[in-house]
Structure 1
Amino acid sequence: MSSDNSIQQTPFVKQLAANDRPTRDKAVESLKTYLSSSRTFTQSDFLKLWKGLFYCMWLSDRARTQQRLADELASLVDVIKPNNVFTFLEAFWTTITREWTSIDALRMDKFMLLVRRYVAASLRYLYKTGWNEEVVRKNNEVLEVLPLHPTNGKLPDGLRYHLIDIYVDELTKIAKVESEEDGEEDAEEEYDITPEQAEALLKPFRKLQKETLTKPIKKNVTEMLEDDRLQLLLKAPSG
C-alpha cells in the first residue's frame, strides 16, 4: 500500500488498530463524535481520514480484531449526517479501488470483509430512507464511477468480482422482513422493498453487464442478475 509515515505514526491510527478492545472502543467513539458533526466535510477531509482507516485495517492482525474493526468502521456510516454520507462513501471507494491491487494474499480476507460490511452499511442507509429515489441514485453514481465502472481498465476486476459475489446476499438481508415464523420450513419470506425499488438498486450492475468488455465479468454479473433470490425480490410484494 502507499504509505504515509505521518498517518501511520498518529496515536489515533494506533489506537484504532489496537488488539485490546477498550483502547479501540475509545478511539471509535471519539471518531464517531467527530464524524457526527453537522459541519460539511470535504472530499479531501475524508480521503485523509480513509488513508488512516485503511492503514488501521492493514495493521489489525487477529481474526476477532479484524472482524470487530470491520464492523466498527462500517458503523461510522450510521452517525454521519446526510449531507456528508456520500462524500464519505466516495472517499471509501476511492481508497479501496486505489489500494486493492496492493493488498497481499494474507491480508485480502479482512479487506474483502470490510467491503462486505460497507455494502451492507450503504444498503442499510438506503433502507432507512425508505429506498428514496434520489438517495439510491446518488449511491448508484458512486458505484458506477468507482468500483463498478464498466470500462475503466485502471480499476481492479478483483473488486468488481467481489461486489458481484456479495451484493445479492447483502441486499436480501437488509430488505427481508423479520417475522415470528422465521426458521419454519413453510414460512414465506417477505421483503420491505418493491420490485421497482429493487430494480433501481441493480442499475450499476445492469450497466456493468451491458458495457463491460471483459467476458468473465459479463458472465458473472449475468449469473448474479439471474440469482433465484433476486428474482423473488423483483416480484415480491412489499412487506
Structure 2
Amino acid sequence: MSISKKRKQLSSSIETRPARTQKASLKGDVPPLGKFLASNDKLTRDRAVKALRKFLSGQSQEEDSFQEQLFATGGEEELLSHQNWEPIKPENVRLNSVELAKLYKGLFYCYWMSDKPIVQQDLAQELSDLSLIIRPISTSTSSDRILDQISTTQTALSFWKQFWIELSSEWQGVDKHRLDKYLLLMRRFLSVSFEILLRVNWHAQAIELWSEILKDTILNVADFKTPLSITYHITDIFLSELNRVLQNKGDHKPAPILKLLNPFMHGLSNSRPGTVTFQKIIDNIFDPLFANLDLFISDRTQVPKSSTIEIYTSFETHLISSDNSKNLTSIRNEILDLLFKAGSDPTCTPSNRKKIYNYWFSKRGIDDEQEQEEDN
C-alpha cells in the first residue's frame, strides 16, 4: 500500500473520533488530526507536533515549569510510602486507548515522512519527549503532589506503551531504507523510559508497570506476533542507554538493576525454540553485565586492547541491590539468584530451563566453586 493511501486511511479514521476531537485544529485545544501529522509539508507536520505537545501537557501551564515543580527534589520518603498505586481515574485520562492508537498511527507516519538525518534526529527526540510532558487532565502542584506524581507517571507509561504497540503493528512495512531511523526512534523511546522511572526515584510500582509493558509488548517473546527484530535491538541497546542516562543524571538515586532485569528474565524463560532470542539476551544483557561487574570487583582499571567488552562506567557506582547496597559482589550474586529462579519458574520451558541452569553454573563465583570442592 502506498504512503498516500495510508495517509488517506489515517485521516479518515481519525476524523471519526468523538465530538471532542473532530474539530481540525492546530491550536493545541484538541489532538491534531492525522492528515496534519502525516502531511507532505514539513511546516504543517511541525505545527501539528507543536500543537500535540501543547495538548498533552495541558494548556494552563508550560510543561517545563510543571515538570520542575511536580518532580522537584523533596518528598521522596512520602512517595516511597505509597507502595500500592491506585489505577488512574477514567475522568483524568487525557486520551483513551482508541484515541492513543489513532494518535500514534499519525505519529508513526509523521516520522516516516522525515527524510533528512538531522530532521530525523530532532524529531525522534521530540516524539520520545512527549512521554515526559504528558499529564492527566487533573493535576495540581499545590496540593496532593505525591498523588499527582503517581498519576502523571502512570499516564506517561501508558503513553509510552502505545509506541511499542504501534511500532510492532507497522514493523513489517518498514523497508530497508527507513530501518536505521526507526532503530534510532526505538533508542530514544527506551532512553526516555529510564528518565520516567528516574524522576520518581525508581519507585518499585513504576518499575513494575514498566516491566509489565515490556513483557506485554516487545519482550512478549512467546507470541508469534511479536517482531523479534525489535526485541533483538532492544537487548542490544538496553545497557548502553541505561548507562548513558545514569551518567547524565548521576545526582539521582542509583538504579535497582535487579528489578530492571525482570523483563529479560521473562524473555529467557519464555523464548521460543527455533529463534535466537535466548542467546541474544545472554550475549547483549547478561554477558556484558557480568563482565562489567567482574571488572569492577577485581579493581582492574584497564581492559586489554584485545577485549571486546564495552565498559559501562556508571555501573560501578550507580547500581544497587535489592537491599539498596552498592556492593557489586552482592549485586552479582543476586543476579545469579534471579537466573536460578527464572529457570525454576513453572512457566519456563524445559529447553530454556536447561540453558538457564547451564549459564547460571558457568557464572558461579570462586566462592561457590570452592564450596563445591569442599562438599566433594
| SS of structure 1 residue aligned to 2:177 | helix
Counterpart residue identity of residue 209, structure 2: K
Counterpart selection for 2:10 from 4, 7, 10: 7
Is the Cα contact below 8 Å between 2:57 and 2:134 reproduced in 1?
yes
Shift in Å at residue 154 of structure 1? 1.3
Matched residue, 1:203: 262
Shift in Å at residue 7 of structure 1? 2.9
Is the Cα contact below 8 Å between 1:176 and 1:192 reproduced in 2?
no
CA distance in 1, matches of 2:279, 2:130: 34
Structure 1 pair 212/28, CA: closer, same or farther in 2 (3 Å)? same
| SS of structure 2 residue aligned to 1:176 | helix
Counterpart residue identity of residue 3, structure 1: K
Which structure features the higher share of helix residues? Answer: 1
Report the TM-score when normalising by structure 2. Answer: 0.54
CA distance in 1, matches of 2:228, 2:38: 31
Give a deviation string over 1:92-135, Cα, whole Å, max 9, x none: 11101111122100011111111110000111111111001001
Matched residue, 1:152: 223
Is the Cα contact below 8 Å between 1:168 and 1:230 reproduced in 2?
no
CA distance in 1, matches of 2:198, 2:171: 28
Structure 1 pair 24/3, CA: closer, same or farther in 2 (3 Å)? closer
Is the Cα contact below 8 Å between 1:42 and 1:87 reproduced in 2?
no
Gaps of at least 5 residues in structure 1 are 180-189
Report the TM-score when normalising by structure 1. Answer: 0.83
Matched residue, 2:129: 75
Counterpart selection for 2:106 from 52, 63, 74: 52
Matched residue, 1:220: 280
Return the structure number with greater relative CO, CA threshold 8 A, min gap 6.
Answer: 1
Counterpart residue identity of residue 262, structure 2: K
Structure 1 pair 159/230, CA: closer, same or farther in 2 (3 Å)? farther
After TM superposition, list the pairs within 5 Å mapping 1:85-234 onto structure 2: 85-176=156-247, 192-194=253-255, 197-214=256-273, 215-223=275-283, 224-228=285-289, 231=293
Number of aligned pairs?
Answer: 224
| SS of structure 2 residue aligned to 1:226 | helix
Is the Cα contact below 8 Å between 2:128 and 2:192 reproduced in 1?
yes
Is the Cα contact below 8 Å between 2:194 and 2:242 reproduced in 1?
yes
Matched residue, 1:184: none
CA distance in 2, matches of 1:230, 1:24: 43
CA distance in 1, matches of 2:114, 2:175: 14
Structure 1 pair 191/125, CA: closer, same or farther in 2 (3 Å)? closer
Matched residue, 1:185: none
CA distance in 2, matches of 1:237, 1:11: 45
Give a deviation string over 1:46-81, Cα, whole Å, max 9, x none: 111000000111111111111111111011011112
Gaps of at least 5 residues in structure 2 are 13-33, 59-90, 136-151, 297-313, 320-325, 327-376
Is the Cα contact below 8 Å between 1:199 and 1:234 reproduced in 2?
no
Shift in Å at residue 27 of structure 1? 3.1
Q: Identity, % of aligned pairs?
A: 27
Counterpart residue identity of residue 62, structure 1: K
CA distance in 1, matches of 2:50, 2:100: 17
| SS of structure 2 residue aligned to 1:61 | coil
In terms of mean alpha carbon deviation, does 151-160 or 39-48 score higher?
39-48
Root mean square deviation, CA, Å: 2.7
Is 1:43 aligned to 2:97, yes or no?
yes
Structure 1 pair 138/71, CA: closer, same or farther in 2 (3 Å)? same
Which structure has the larger Rg? 2
Shift in Å at residue 90 of structure 1? 2.0
